Amino acid sequence: MGLNLTQKILNSHLKSGKVGSGGEIGLKIDQTLTQDATGTMAYLQFEAMGIPKVKTDLSVSYIDHNTLQTGFENADDHAFLQSCASRFGVYFSRPGNGICHQVHLERFGKPGQTLLGSDSHTPTGGGIGMLAMGAGGLDVAVAMGGGEFYINDPKIVKVWLTGKLSPWVSAKDIILEMLRRLSVKGGVGKIFEYAGPGVATLSVPERATITNMGAELGATTSIFPSDEQTRLFLKAQNREQDYIPLQADPDATYDEEIIIDLASLEPLVAKPHMPDNVVAVTELLGTKVQQVAIGSCTNSSYRDLMAVAAILKGKVINPEVSLVIAPGSRQVLTMITNNGALTDLLDAGARILESTCGPCIGMGQSPSSGAVSLRTFNRNFKGRSGTIDAGIYLVSPEIAAASALTGTITDPRTLGAYPEIELPEYYRVDDSMILPPSDSEVEIVRGPNIKPLPVASKLSDTLKLPVVIKLDNNITTDDIMPAGAKILPLRSNIPAMSEYVFNKIDEDFSARAKSLGQSVIIAGHNYGQGSSREHAALVPMYLGIKVVVAKSFARIHKANLINFGILPLTFKREEDYDLITTDSKLIFEDMTQAIFSSEPLPVKIEGTNKTILLQHDFTDRQAKILLAGGLLNFTREANK
């Protein structure tokens, strides 16, 4: 029986376990990427392992999240990251060179290789035929040290594409259609492999939009075959030598199949406050718009911005709309500058931002109070924009540009003939802003914002834990550890950052957690969805959180909790969730035995005659990590 594309890459990188077994598998990682919001902690962790140089084929450190320098913290941390990169054998993409996923696709991605990144949108690399996965910074640090990356053997879903997109319907609408069908938790434990005759009609930038936002499905990753479109893209980037053809065997099998007729799709919009709240644009026509933001790692490619420039050329945006545009990379920015498209954008009234994540991560350009903001981004969680009462809608570049002109949500199909966008035969290649590592000994630069790395204590056999907070479904890592210009600069200062945990939900959480010493969090389904930021586990660990009990967990966050010695447990009986209040205290006994056992764990509610049943699916390796108090302790002990 033939193999599908995912199985081929998994098997060629398999270090432990068995593909198709349903158990845990360990993979060799070829490439890693970090960014500055997560990278500082990742390199502190790598340094703590005592490994002199990275052991991957390629590792790159990007500066793209925290470039708003309102104080010394971000600039100091950039200097720290640059010195770490040079010291440990890592390439360094300087501030202004672009968003990590866009630049990595342009300059480093290779079909058939594995990529692990400390950013949940690392699956963007699947658009070029990579098996690219997001993870917490500690997992990436271990991979840089030559360690395996572990995932649960995923279900592989074939997404069969037929037909061709109609004019004014874009790749963004394909992934929004997936979210409409499956929801933000519909991809947990799955890899989406795109196939079918419709694939050949999509360019690499369009494919990257789809794989990028596959993260919002909760998927392990998404991937496209490496074909003629891939070869043309790599050739245009002067990297044709990196091309290899790669696709599924004709008789390959899959766990599930989804069929999408591209010709049947229409322009779609994700309404506030979740990426799966998807409707047709025709349901929202006439909704007044105050802001339009175009960019992010989802929709900031040369193709995207050329489409926007063509729509806006010779016109002026509505006087009541603020239009901001962030090109995805310096390559994109210089190319639209040279061909005149930038002038078209400026003449239309656009404000041009740095080639960074910017407003997508809440780093500037917050909309006005109660505003409607259309964004070509990937997430619209409440408050992520920096304005808690703003309505954030996720749209394609075409809808964004059309609506900027009219001042209301507009169906772009009303604009007439769709402008033909030709991809360049050759992109402008200039890697002078990517610094290779040094061969000499480099001193690591440490600013005053970099504090010692917190490490969890070993697991106790008995725990009596008060409930510090009880939460509903779909709690995001933004809810747990908010982003934004005020908080992100503290990413290497855990004591300072701890003041903001759950700040948007409960302003007293941090003080209460500190007063309790040790405590447990109770939550509903899909706890920890969204960003891969490990601070959503690391900082609660610092505040004494020992256990999180939820109805279900998002993949990356569950792994991060284990990495930092916090037990992620689920309810055996979902109705037990209702037995627990914020005044409850849970008694956990015989924990050393329990984490190695497949039997349900009985937990008493102190002061009552009630017992709840909890469960887990820890592998033997994960149980040992938890017993050690986290992955860093476990790795240190293993290397003694």
Comparing CA positions, the residue from 114, 191, 189 lying closest to residue 152 is 189
Q: Letter for the amino acid at 139?
A: D
**Catalytic residue, candidates 379, 384, 491, 557:** 379
The answer to whether 111 and 131 are in contact (CB under 8 A) is no
Cis status, amide bond into 273, omega within 30 of 0:
yes
Active-site annotation holds for 531: yes
DSSP H or E run through 495: helix 494-497
65 catalytic? Reply is yes
In the β-sheet with 268-270, what is the strand arrangement from edge to edge?
A: 278-280, 268-270, 391-394, 372-375, 291-294, 322-325, 351-352
Burial of 620: CB neighbours in 10 Å, binned 0-12, 13-18, 19+: exposed
- Give catalytic status of residue 64 as yes or no: yes
Residue 82, burial from CB neighbour count under 10 angstroms (0-12, 13-18, 19+) = buried
Per the CB < 8 A criterion, the answer to whether 247 and 194 are in contact is no
Backbone phi, then psi, for 530, in 5-degree steps? 105, -135
Give the distance from CA 198 to its chain's centroid: 26
Catalytic residue from among 65, 375, 413, 557: 65
The single residue of 30, 77, 119, 576 carrying the catalytic annotation is 119
H/E element holding 190? strand 190-195
Eight-class DSSP state of 231: H
Burial of 547 (0-12, 13-18, 19+ CB in 10 A): buried
Let me know if 239 is a catalytic residue.
Answer: no
User: Is 510 one of the catalytic residues?
Assistant: no
The identity of residue 462, as a single letter, is T
Catalytic residue among 87, 533, 535, 557: 533
Please confirm, yes or no, whether 86 is among the known catalytic residues: no
Active-site residue among 64, 139, 173, 304?
Answer: 64
Rounded-to-integer distance, Cα 46 and Cα 55, Å: 12
- Inter-residue long-range contacts of 1-4, CB under 8 Å, 24+ positions, other chains counted: 1/251, 1/252, 1/253, 2/248, 2/249, 2/250, 2/251, 2/252, 2/253, 3/248, 3/249, 3/252, 4/156, 4/158, 4/193, 4/248, 4/249, 4/252, 4/253, 4/254
Nearest CA to 114 out of 206, 222, 32, 198 is that of 32
* CA-closest candidate to residue 353, choices 372, 374, 330: 330
Q: Which of 222, 396, 531, 552 is catalytic?
A: 531
User: What is the set of active-site residues?
Assistant: 64-65, 119, 379, 531, 533
